Structure 1
Amino acid sequence: MDIYTYFYNLVMQIPRGMVSTYGALARALGDIRAARACGVMLSQNPDPPRIPCHRVVMSDGSIGGFTHPEGIKRKMELLRSEGVEIVGGKIVNFRDKLFEEFKTDYPLKKLQDEQIKLKRKVILKDDFSPQFVGGVDISYDGRMAYGVLAIFDTRGKLVERIEKIMKIKFPYIPTYLAFKEEPLISSLLKEWSEPLVLMVDGNGILHPRGMGLATYVGVKNDVPTIGVAKKLLMGEVRGVHIYLSGKRVGAFLKSGIKKGIYVSPGHRISLETSLKIVKEYLKYKNPEPLRIAHLFANKLRNSH
């Protein structure tokens, strides 16, 4: 799904002489959690004259930021030229100037429904004979994504590296990472024909809808996947295990000097086996397939 294009079409609905907010646009997308992503997409506006990003302000009527050499000064000039009065950095009669009547079909709600539907296909028992273990990582420069799939044999030797570059159509929105990164990861997987277990820099079933990046990639490609996350975004750690809504969905694995990683099964693998495989490839903070993929992804980005 091209959320960027959808979002810019929403912004173009804001009438001249009116303003809207990041929150209103996020709700029009279908989830208030997209508010910060709205700011990011506005900062990447590909056609400012046609897409009136200056008409988006803060929820209290204050002007907010503006990606322009003259910054907020230029934003206020544009708004005033359209009949919007500003005093003390805030919109006068803000509620009367506020536009929220977007024509939308709430695309993020549709994606939530897709996640819930796909959850029925998730297998959380060992369903593979591992010959190779892969790690995938993506590095970004704006909307350009640089992805690397690093493949190791069962002895821990790097045997293959696959690289791809893609322009993303989806920004980072909490709990929707799968829709940002899955297209590039799936494209990388198509270049490898042998059976593998894939480690993903993200969560598996440790997700409010049980469909984190690792799980989504696994189900979409019918590949065993393991989620390896650097931060705990949700759930409760009890001992070494992680619980979400009373259900055991992952485990904390101490690694590196101070911190650790959060492991959760993605698809076609159990939590126990996920931990076993991650431990086998763990030398530093992250397991080697992910660490090496990360290094090569950064190298790929820096070479362009």
Structure 2
Amino acid sequence: MALEVVCAQCQAKLRVPDGSEGKRVKCPKCQQMVEIPGVRDGDKNRAMSAPSPGEVAGVGQGETAGLAGWSLRTEDGQTFGPVQRSELDAWVNEGRVTGDCHVLGPGQKQWVAAGTVYPQLAFAALTATAESPSLSSGRWQVEDDGANPKSGGELVELPAAAASAASSVASTDASRVGAVAAALRPADAAGVAMVPASDYPALHTARTFYRVLGWLSIVFGGLLIVVQVVSSMLTFFAMSQMGGDATQMFLTLLTLVLLGAVFATMTCAAAITFWFLADCIRWMLDLQNRAERTNILLEQLLRQQQQRDR
């Protein structure tokens, strides 16, 4: 859990990571150095003698947090919660939860990666920079009240090892990740980066062209069928007025009907062919989009592995 300290000069409330006892931080409001007090002996004795929530309930700590609501564990081991799912969703929407975090849901016994609950976090690192504040970084925000970090506040600089490591990794990969992210469209409703249409203008133009040809073939084919029907009726009417042979009239009518059927078949075949070509182009774009997303995911997994190795 985070520690709360109050600046003696401006009375601003600061939140710092647990384990920062005895360190000094600079207040972002008045620039006064604030010393983080250590845990008193009486508090230590009470903490050691008091049973943990897991011991009282007869379950592990993770199970207790899961039963009470959703909990969040950052990359450097700090835990927030339990909170309601709506509040956890708000943290994700505000960009303060990364794919390196883990969550524990109600009734769960094991922590799971946040990306399994929020798939969009698998691609959030592409737009992140070394200066973006998040729960997993070593920067903490000034709060007026409450137990959770809030967005929009000023940042408190802490000489935390996790912060320096995260900044080092982010600065090293910023140019490479930025080059990939610059070519991507903003994420869709599911949070997945999409390939911009401008990257494939020829394919999109060809798809539109084939769709237009399909509709034009239907229009012209329909006009030919209408003309064929009208001409058949006029021919049959003229032959009947002239008193022609019944067999000849029947053969003429059959020929005209067959021609109309041929026109209709050719029209349908042309429309289906053009629309099929348009769908083939769309499938090619979908495959390219999935390949791009797969490459991005592999890139992120490689960066995470490099970060763990460091």
- Give the structure-2-normalised TM-score: 0.21
Choose between structure 1 and 2 for higher RCO, CA contacts under 8 A separated by at least 6 residues.
1
When the two structures are superposed, what TM-score results if normalisation uses the length of structure 1?
Answer: 0.22
Greater strand fraction, Structure 1 or Structure 2: 1
Question: Whose helix proportion is higher, 1 or 2?
Answer: 2
